[in-house]
Amino acid sequence: QVQLAESGGGSVQVGGSLTLTCAASGSDPKNPYSRAAMAWFRQGPGKEREGVATIYTGSGSTYYTGSVKGRFTISQDKAKATVYLQMNNLKPEDTAMYYCAAGSIASMSPYEYPYWGQGTQVTVSS
């Protein structure tokens, strides 16, 4: 099975930066494309889980939700099977639990991703 492990969360002040890391391992013998797309989602208190950024691991194509465009960058190290989320100019509204997800399609819908990490907390204070 696919396993995902996030790290890098923490507490920062407004305008600060953090880099989240998602290390992927394993595979789904029934689905050779189980890690074709990787994504970062976040869920703030009392909010629904929302897609932040996605990447096709083959082509490297990336997609972002509007509120993070220009501030966040998703990238990967194929050799390490690791995906990163560089977050700059952080705002209080970025405070959330951030989750790494893996699936076959790069989508902003959490329902497209069967594999999830445990999450890492990001707190932005003013």
Q: Note the pLDDT tens digit of each residue in 86-102.
A: 999 999 999 999 999 99
Indicate whether 12 pLDDT > 90. Answer: yes
Contact (CB, 8 A) for 112 and 103: yes
Name which of 18, 42, 19, 8 is nearest 116 in CA terms.
42
Indicate whether 32 pLDDT > 90. Answer: no
Q: Which of 22-26, 30-34, 49-53, 83-87 has the lowest mean pLDDT?
A: 30-34
Instruction: For residues 70 and 88, give the distance between their C-alpha atoms in angstroms, rounded to a whole number.
Output: 9
Q: How much is the pLDDT for 114?
A: 96
Q: How much is the pLDDT for 31?
A: 87
Q: Is residue 29 very low, low, confident or very high in pLDDT (cuts 50, 70, 90)?
A: confident
> What is the overall mean pLDDT for the chain?
96
